[in-house]
């Protein structure tokens, strides 16, 4: 049964409790979708306009020659001073490529915004002639980030259409690109059958989750405000933070839900400390589930990233602590990616809370929260 996409207006004479609940629920869904679309369109248009300004400045800016290859890095620094701390050089490069790939989005701007832009000097391509309004309404900017990495305009237009038709998530779009769906479709003798395999069983209305890092940074929200921790997890992290900061442990608090950008993937570390005795970062991850190799692999990735990007002169390699909980059991594991100094390993075992201490801490607090 197809779900309604507009609010239900019941006849007052036939209004029952069930119909009242249904009407309110459908109204809520409708306006939630509309709010998500509005935020996504604003974010996407903002990024497109930023790309437009950058492209035009690089080509025709009066003082562009004095910046050269340092332009985007200098621009990111200047924007950070103006309150846009999360717009990095990498993002500016993406916005510029977005504008180059989709110059036709200009037609979706209001007349006032169009007048504020310089005239387009980019030749229209097959992709640029796409239905930009449909594109903005049905694809998030995170989808578009994946699409602009495709240089061939015809191939990009193919994935646009298939993504909208199949209501693909970003993960599914990446999977289809990696599986060479475009190339397989060109070679297939039964294109309809192949296309049917990529269609979702139910075609829900497109949603634009606020947890998307582009969205919550655009709205000025903090990661911990949108990560959706359960009440149990939130309380456990509160208790754990207090426990580790107790005098004598040597922990200095740095961040909670600290966002990392590893390649094109965002990750969030639950708690980040610097240990003043061991002179290293300590990353803590809490999983309200049984121990898994995937969780260890994730934490090892974070530890490796910190070793490469956050170690200062005189620092020792970072350490990761993985805390896994089940209903009546807790398991603690340490991650030491790339650490081969056995003397240091022995030292940290003396300075950090032992596995047994952390397990008792978790099990005691699981009963109280």
Q: Cα separation of 91 and 26, whole Å? A: 37
pLDDT value, residue 126: 45
Residue 369: which of 232, 234, 228, 230 has the closest Cα? 232
Q: Cα separation of 141 and 41, whole Å? A: 8
pTM of the complete model? 0.62
User: Would you say 127 and 139 are in contact if contact means Cβ atoms under 8 Å apart?
Assistant: no
pLDDT value, residue 29: 83
pLDDT value, residue 212: 65
- Domains located in the chain, CATH noted: 12-214 (no CATH), 226-368 (3.40.1350)
Which segments of the chain have a pLDDT < 50? 1-2, 126-129, 201-203
Q: Reduce the DSSP state of residue 152 to 3 states and report it.
A: coil
Torsion sign over Cα 27, 32, 33, 34: positive
pLDDT value, residue 48: 95
Burial state string for 2-14 with b = 16 or more CB within 10 A and e = fewer than 16: eeeeeeeeeeeee
Report the phi/psi class of residue 68: left, alpha or beta, with left for phi > 0 and alpha for psi in -120 to 50: left
Q: Give the model confidence (pLDDT) of 114-137 as tens digits.
A: 888 877 666 555 444 457 888 888
pLDDT value, residue 210: 57
Question: What tokens appear for 174 in the block?
Answer: 């990446």
């Amino acid at each position: 049964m197809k779900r309604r996409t507009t609010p239900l207006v019941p006849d007052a004479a036939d209004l029952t409790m069930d119909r009242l609940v249904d009407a309110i629920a459908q109204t809520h869904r409708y306006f939630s979708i509309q709010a998500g679309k509005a935020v996504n369109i604003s974010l996407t248009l903002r990024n497109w306009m930023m790309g437009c300004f950058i492209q035009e400045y690089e080509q025709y800016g009066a003082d562009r020659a004095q910046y050269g290859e340092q332009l985007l890095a200098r621009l990111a620094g200047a924007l950070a001073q103006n309150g846009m701390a999360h717009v990095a050089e990498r993002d500016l490069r993406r916005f510029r490529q977005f504008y180059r790939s989709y110059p036709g989005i200009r037609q979706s701007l209001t007349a006032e915004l169009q007048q504020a832009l310089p005239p387009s000097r980019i030749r229209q391509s097959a992709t640029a002639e796409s239905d930009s309004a449909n594109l903005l309404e049905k694809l998030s900017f995170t989808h578009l980030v994946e699409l602009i990495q495709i240089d061939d305009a015809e191939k990009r237009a193919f994935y646009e259409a298939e993504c909208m038709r199949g209501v693909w998530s970003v993960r599914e779009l990446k999977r289809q690109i990696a599986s060479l769906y475009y190339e397989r479709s060109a070679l297939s003798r039964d294109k309809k059958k192949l296309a049917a395999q990529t269609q979702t069983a139910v075609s829900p209305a497109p949603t634009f989750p606020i947890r998307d890092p582009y969205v919550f940074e655009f709205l000025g929200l903090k990661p911990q405000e949108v990560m959706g921790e359960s009440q149990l997890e939130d309380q456990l992290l509160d208790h754990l933070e207090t426990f580790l900061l107790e005098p004598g442990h040597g922990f200095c608090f740095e961040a909670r839900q600290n966002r990392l950008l590893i390649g094109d993937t965002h990750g969030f570390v639950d708690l980040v400390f610097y240990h003043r005795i061991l002179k290293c970062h300590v990353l803590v991850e809490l999983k309200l589930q049984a121990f898994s190799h995937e969780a260890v692999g994730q934490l090892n990735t974070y530890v490796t990233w910190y070793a490469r990007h956050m170690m200062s002169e005189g620092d020792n390699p970072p350490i990761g602590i993985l805390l896994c909980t089940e209903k009546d059991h807790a398991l603690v594991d340490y991650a030491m990616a790339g650490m081969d100094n056995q003397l240091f390993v022995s030292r940290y075992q003396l300075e950090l809370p032992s596995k047994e201490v952390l397990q008792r801490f978790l099990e005691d607090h699981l009963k109280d929260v």
